[in-house]
Amino acid sequence: MENCLFCKIISGDIPSAKVYEDEYCYAFRDINPQAPTHILVVPKTHVASIAEADQLSPGALAAILSAIGKIARQEGLDNGFRVVSNCGPDACQSVQHLHFHILGGRQMAEKMA
Ligand code: DGP
């Protein structure tokens, strides 16, 4: 989609630190890391948020979920990690292309919000 930051990252028009890619999804390091490991996993098909995830194919949805585990193993997050998907203004979503944050490498707060 035109003027979508993450679509431009997926296409390579904007550089990123890639950590994983397959037919359906792309993963790269967050520019403003909030944990020692902070990776964003995005579908290659543009959908605005998890609220529209039903617009993705079952194959794409499955690929994203499996990619999260593969990336965590690749990054050595053996002691655990947190996955977050902010959706809409109440959750402070700032980029309107569905993405999952993988946060790890330190103890997370017990309270999530
Ligand atoms: P959210 O607030 O949940 O929509 O998260 C958007 C994330 O995207 C935020 O943690 C910072 C990250 N981000 C924004 N612009 C860029 C960029 O140009 N490159 C990379 N790698 N990450 C970005």
pLDDT tens, position by position, 93-111: 999 999 999 999 999 999 9
Atom number of ligand 1 nearest to Cα 84: 3
Q: How much distance in Å is there from the Cα of 21 to the middle of ligand 1? A: 18
Q: Does 6 contact ligand 1 (Cβ within 6 A)? A: no
- Note the pLDDT of residue 1: 83
CATH number of the domain within which 86 lies: 3.30.428.10
Q: Flag whether 68 is in a domain.
A: yes
The answer to which of 1-5, 56-60, 72-76, 91-95 has the lowest mean pLDDT is 1-5
Q: Flag whether 109 is in a domain.
A: no
User: 83 exposed, middle or buried (CB, 10 Å; 0-12, 13-18, 19+)?
Assistant: middle
Q: What's the structural domain count of the chain?
A: 1
User: 43 exposed, middle or buried (CB, 10 Å; 0-12, 13-18, 19+)?
Assistant: buried
Q: Flag whether 110 is in a domain.
A: no
Respond yes or no: is residue 99 known to be catalytic: yes
Q: Does 22 contact ligand 1 (Cβ within 6 A)? A: no
Which range of residues forms the domain containing residue 26? 5-104
Q: Flag whether 18 is in a domain.
A: yes
pLDDT tens, position by position, 17-61: 999 999 999 999 999 999 999 999 999 999 999 999 999 999 999
